[in-house]
Structure formats: structure tokens, C-alpha cells
Amino acid sequence: MKKIIAVSVTLFLFFILLGINVNAQQEEKNNAKSTDIKVHKKQLISDEERKSLDELAKGKMGSGARSRVFQPLATGIVGEPIPTTGERYAIVVGLANYNGTANDLCPLVAETDEADVSVFPTTDPRYYCQDYDSIHMKDALVNQYGYNPANITILRDSDATKASIVDAMNSLQSKLDGDDEVVFFYSGHGVSGNYYGIVDGEKVDEAIYTYDGQFIWDDDLKAWADSLSVYREAFVFDMCLAGGMNDIAGVNRVIAMSSVENQSSWTYTLGGGGTSTSGYTYSEGLFSHYFVVSGMTNMQADSINLLSQVDSQVTAEEAFSYTYPIIKTKQAPVLSDKFTNDLLLGH
């Protein structure tokens, strides 16, 4: 009898290990069969364009500006708050400094020994090749919407590997219940390609591009979003081809995308880049600069809604409605809103 039990246990463990190995091999096979992969890099607006957009942003808040109708537009009616037992969580990912230099959102001089480090506060020029969209988003969630910093996972630059992002997603998934709220934010390069095994019928799929040159496809993000037991979700993508992430759309889910599916996204400032109006700067996406910094943190989007209502709080729809007319000549943002009324994060 003991021999039979031992053999059974051995076979059981063998088939478990075989299953794990098959799953790993299948994932590797799927990635290997992905074809026509292309990385789409953000581009930099000029100093003149930056000044012009900033002036337009100021004008939007001037007399009569709130009466203009932009589509889509916030209603001014805030939806129901999350249940009192609910927690708020966020995964915030931002990349300016990719592995190597080919895909960096920084001038090459800020990545090499050729940089004149005597003009830097530090002798390490890589210090200037940093993403700041993720920092700004985290600050907005904490300071404007009351998120607990302990519930925010922030992955910047070299920390934003595929394994780290997937681990954060899996870890968060195990913590959630039906009363919680989740925000997923990504700023970096976009990827297009034919993803082996896709189920959405698209000939070309989109993905986010991680520090180590790997991809997380929109189908995988959708599967993760659909698996979450939460009250509501918000996704923000600042990347080229961002509109393709619309596949993630779902009930009680808002997705703010920096550009349409076939369009590049731009950067407001490049990490390490000098401009005519400032010294060395951190990297900011054009969409994130207005959506997060101006719209949310600086409250410029308050009252950009159909009711012209000023309530000292900015919903996701208001931030989008504020950003859209400012940057639409460079890139046309897209909003997928399947949330009743407007979504006030953390409300």
C-alpha cells in the first residue's frame, strides 16, 4: 500500500511540474511566434510648440472658455463613491531610461561619458535620464485623491521590467475584493505586432514596452482587468498607438489614452534635455503633463464639464476634457468611459 501511495504521489508531482513546464513553454512559444514587432517611440515637441500649447492651456481657463463644447466631455455629475469597506490600489509605471540608449527618451549625451558632468549637480549623467510621469501620477493619487502610498506600486525606468510589472499585477490581484478600486498607469513607448494567440480578431495588436525590451500585450492586460474582483477600474496610457488599448474596455472601467490607434504620442520634455527656457529636465509625456500635472494636481480641469461646476475636485473625465483640446493638433486623445456619470478617483 505504501508503495502504491508513493508511486501515486510521484506521478501527481510529475504531472504538476509537467503542467508548469508546458505553460512556460507555451508562453515562450506564443512570444516567439509574435511577428512584425515594431517599437513606436515618442517624439519631442519644440520649445515654440510647448509655449504655444501652454498659452492655449491658459486661454482655456479664460472668460467664456468653459462654455465651449469639446467631445467627449465630462458631465459634472460625480458617480457613487466606492463602498466604505473598499480599498484603493494603483500600479504606476513610467519609462524614460530604457536598457541601452537606442530607446531612451533622453539626449544621448546624458547617457554617455561624453557629457560635461562639470555642469551637473551629480557626476552621474544617467541621473538626468529619468521618468517623472510616474512620480506625478503617484503624487496626484496621494495628494488629490487620498490614496494610501502603501497601496501604490511605482515602477520607474530600470525597475519597470516585464517580470516586475507582471509580479505587481499578480500580487495586487490576490489582495482585491469586490469593493476595491484599481488604477493602472503607464507612460513609455508603444509596441505593435501580430501577437500569436490573440482572440480579439485584430490583425495588429498593441503592447506596452518594458525596460528589458519585453512586451505586455493589450489582450493580456484585458484578461487581467477582467479577472479583478473590484468595484471599478481606471487605466491611463501615455504611449504611441495608445488608442489600441481600447480593447481593455469594460463595465465600470475608464480608459484614458494619449492618442488614437495609428498615431504617435509626444513628449513635453525629454529627460536630460536642455531647452531654451530651462536647464536639464526630467521626462514628461505631453498627455501626462496636462492630464496629470495641470489638470489634476494644479486643478486646472475643475469645472471643465457640461455644468461648468466648480467643486474643488477633478474627475478623470474633467482631466481628459481639459487635455483634449490643448493637444489635439499634435495627438488626439481617446477616452473609453463605461462608468456611470463621472469617475472621481478615490471618491
Q: How confident is the model at residue 114, as a pLDDT?
A: 55
pLDDT tens-digit profile of 68-107?
445 567 999 999 999 999 999 999 999 999 987 788 888 7
Residues 182, 169: Cα–Cα separation, whole Å: 11
Tell me the residue type at 2. Answer: K
Q: How confident is the model at residue 4, as a pLDDT?
A: 47
* More confident position, 112 or 284: 284
Q: Which three cell numbers stand for residue 257?
A: 489614452
pTM for the full model? 0.85
CB atoms within 10 A of CB 120: 16
CB atoms within 10 A of CB 250: 17
**Res. 26 pLDDT band, cuts 50 70 90:** very low
User: Scanning the structure block, which residue is given the C-alpha cell 518594458?
Assistant: 210
304 has pLDDT over 50: yes
Q: Which whole number is the average pLDDT over 186-202?
A: 77
Residues 154, 139: Cα–Cα separation, whole Å: 11
Q: Using CB atoms within 10 Å of the CB of residue 229, give its burial: 0 to 12 exposed, 13 to 18 middle, 19+ buried.
A: exposed
* More confident position, 48 or 18: 48
Q: Which three cell numbers stand for residue 204?
A: 495588429
H or E element at residue 336: strand 334-337
* More confident position, 342 or 23: 342
End-to-end CA distance of the chain: 61
